[in-house]
Chain A
Amino acid sequence: MQVLESGRGELIQPPDLEAFREWNRSYKPRKLIDKLMTEREAISRFVTDGCYIGTELYGTVRCPMSLCREVVRQGKKNLRVCGQGVLELDLWLAAGLVKKLDITYIGLEVYGITCALRRAVESGQVETCVEWSNGAISWRMKAAAMGVPFIATRSMLGTDTFAYSAAKVVEDPFTGLKVCLLPALILDVGLIHVHRADRFGNAQIDGISGFAAEMARASKRLIISAEEIVPTEEIRKQPDRTIIPYYLVDAVVHAPFGSYPGEMAYVYGRDEIAVREWVEASKTPEGAQAYLDKYIHGVNDHVEYLALIGQKRLTQMVAERERRE
């Protein structure tokens, strides 16, 4: 199969499938083990300086915000990140934790461009931005989840998004079509927030599943935060809903309102005022730092963070949740 074109971007995390199989054989116990721990313990045990890390879904929707804030609190450095991000990656960028990006979209949705991303990239603090589409990054995880070295797509062809990626164009040996080959993405660490999980890591999501299934299967270390920790009997009542099986999971963190100020489908809505607070604060480095000082460094953990936000706001967000009707 002849390579017709190569993207010039760096392959930040080259996949090693044999090593991934060995890893999954050696470091992923088949036994049901209690993995319940705090954000602090999970992040300090599994997130290392320089690691390749990803978050799911994104900043304002079912995002592991309590885990992301803990990463900032612990000051993990030189992170290589895939995103797909809104508030969560903005916090990391503002805190100067990110060295390299496999970037698909980092922005503030209807509020537009993020100033934290601009400062981090335009100053050269982020050394590399390798471009991908949202579909492509998800398919890269899907390839890793399949245990194969690449996946073919008909997206990204002919564009600068391809030219600045690490993908390749080949002629398909079966049909003769030009296709874009996306390298498998095996993450060192994945962070995913779910509706419910048991202590062993069996996890269920309500509503859209984003790319949780793919990321969970593509991560060497997987930290799950959950709104609710349920007995395994509850999981066994509806095993069809278990999108992430226990053997993929290394840590389970109980994080009620774990996606706040983002939303959690059917549980609480997003806090638009709090989202706007970051949009405004992040316009200047000083504002961003003051925000980090107040909401991350100024509190010890997620419990104290929620106390700072206050029950009144949280209750209001519950009232504004999407309802099943």
Chain B
Amino acid sequence: MDDRPYTKTDLMICVAARLFQDATTAFIGTGIPMLAAALATKTVAPNLVPVFEFGGTGAILEKLPRAVGESRTFHKGLVASGICDTMETAQRGFIDYGFLGGAQIDAYGNLNSTTIGDHDHPRARLPGSGGGNDVGSLCWMTVAIMQHEKRRFIPKVDFITTPGYLSGPGAREAAGLPRGSGPINVVSTLALMDYDRDTCRMRLVATHPGVTVEEVVANTGFELLIADHVGGNAPPSVQELRLLREEIDPERLCT
């Protein structure tokens, strides 16, 4: 048996994978979301229909896609169409989940992947929205997967690339975003969060093994709500680790 210790990223992938529901549609972003989706199809969600923005729908994720347009995103797939089709499918309400990454997140789940500092004179120019804004706008439920650091979990993101709950309750609907859509979870390197129904603010619901509530709070730059009963996320199982290391990411692109 492989007795190497699991990494923080391994754990984050496993916790994210367990959030997938079987027989649902899910928009999958580049990187960690792809690993989590691949693991989910081999464990909790064998009938998951992954959707990749440039047209791949219903692929069998035998090998890890490294990009949202590459051949592995429609390997033995059900559909190979184009970006207008996938985005319009989300806009019509057919895509249940969206799994996204981001550089910064705030208490309402707004994500920044555009600029650090002023937009017109940025300290750092990041890649931009890509399909992120569309996914966060149009899927029913979005899940962000992030490194948990104080400089990333901040009171106000420098730029709202992708909408969470914007300024709070009712703000999405007031802006014209589809009714009943929005972020539901954040999976970080430290914990699992959801959003409080009344305030739309991020709330700690379960910590990773060996992580204390205080540690999560200390690494969060805004006031994090704490659930009445904070649970513990199970460490990666032997099976999850084997699948990740041997089948899904043998080249260890993401560690």
Partner of A61, one of B69, B119, B131, B253: B69
Proximity bits, B53-67, A CB within 8 Å = 1, else 0? 111100000000011
Known pairs A107-B126, A133-B130, A159-B160 / 16 extra A-B pairs, C-beta < 8 Å: A61-B54, A105-B128, A114-B127, A117-B125, A121-B122, A129-B119, A133-B132, A155-B87, A161-B114, A179-B176, A180-B176, A208-B56, A209-B82, A210-B55, A211-B83, A322-B75
| 30 A-B interface contacts by CB (under 8 A) | A61-B70, A86-B67, A104-B128, A104-B130, A105-B127, A105-B129, A114-B127, A121-B122, A122-B124, A122-B125, A134-B53, A135-B83, A136-B134, A138-B84, A139-B87, A155-B87, A155-B133, A159-B166, A160-B114, A160-B119, A164-B159, A178-B175, A180-B176, A208-B74, A208-B82, A209-B82, A210-B54, A210-B69, A210-B82, A211-B83
Residue of A nearest to B162 (CB): A159
**A263 at the A/B interface (Cβ < 8 Å)?**
yes
Task: Tell me the residues in window 139-171 of chain A with beta carbons closer than 8 Å to chain B beta carbons.
Answer: 139, 142, 153-161, 164, 169
Given contacts A121-B122, A208-B54, A266-B71, contact A160 B84 (CB under 8 A): no
Taking the closest CB of chain A, its distance from the CB of B57, in whole angstroms, is 9
Given contacts A161-B114, A208-B54, A209-B55, contact A156 B137 (CB under 8 A): yes
Partner of B84, one of A109, A114, A214, A322: A214
A103 touches B128 (CB 8 A): yes
A154 touches B91 (CB 8 A): yes
Taking chain B's interface residues, is the majority helix, strand, or loop, or is none over half, making it mixed? Answer: loop
Given contacts A118-B125, A159-B163, contact A207 B71 (CB under 8 A): yes
Q: Which residues of A contact B123 (CB under 8 A)?
A: 122
Given contacts A155-B138, A207-B71, A263-B70, contact A131 B128 (CB under 8 A): yes
**B248 at the A/B interface (Cβ < 8 Å)?**
no
A142 touches B70 (CB 8 A): no
Taking the closest CB of chain A, its distance from the CB of B178, in whole angstroms, is 6
Partner of B160, one of A113, A142, A160, A263: A160
Q: CA–CA, A295 to B159, complex, Å?
A: 37
Partner of B69, one of A121, A208, A269: A208
Write the residues of chain B forming the contact surface with A, with a CB cutoff of 8 angstroms: 30-31, 53-56, 66-67, 69-76, 80-84, 87, 91, 110, 114, 119, 121-134, 137-138, 159-163, 166, 171-172, 174-178, 253-254
Taking the closest CB of chain A, its distance from the CB of B28, in whole angstroms, is 13
**A58 at the A/B interface (Cβ < 8 Å)?**
yes
Q: CA–CA, A160 to B130, complex, Å?
A: 14
A109 touches B134 (CB 8 A): no
Q: Which residues of B contact A60 (CB under 8 A)?
A: 66-67, 69-70
Q: CA–CA, A57 to B82, complex, Å?
A: 10
Q: Which residues of B contact A161 (CB under 8 A)?
A: 114, 129, 133, 160-162
B166 touches A210 (CB 8 A): no
Given contacts A106-B128, A110-B30, A207-B74, contact A133 B122 (CB under 8 A): no
**A19 at the A/B interface (Cβ < 8 Å)?**
no
Residue of B nearest to A209 (CB): B82
Given contacts A135-B87, A210-B55, contact A154 B137 (CB under 8 A): yes
Residue of B nearest to A63 (CB): B69
A121 touches B125 (CB 8 A): yes
Q: Which residues of A contact B66 (CB under 8 A)?
A: 60, 109-110, 270, 272
Q: Which residues of B contact A179 (CB under 8 A)?
A: 176
**A299 at the A/B interface (Cβ < 8 Å)?**
no
Q: Which residues of A contact B127 (CB under 8 A)?
A: 105-107, 113-114, 117
Q: CA–CA, A60 to B161, complex, Å?
A: 24
B137 touches A57 (CB 8 A): no
Task: Tell me the residues in window 74-133 of chain A with beta carbons closer than 8 Å to chain B beta carbons.
Answer: 86, 103-107, 109-110, 113-114, 117-118, 121-122, 124, 129, 131-133
Given contacts A57-B69, A61-B67, contact A208 B130 (CB under 8 A): no
Q: CA–CA, A225 to B158, complex, Å?
A: 40
B71 touches A265 (CB 8 A): yes
Residue of B nearest to A83 (CB): B128
Per CB-CB distance, the 5 closest pairs between chain A and chain B, nearest first, are A178-B176, A158-B175, A107-B127, A208-B55, A322-B71
Q: Which residues of B contact A210 (CB under 8 A)?
A: 54-55, 69, 82-83
A58 touches B129 (CB 8 A): no
**A233 at the A/B interface (Cβ < 8 Å)?**
no
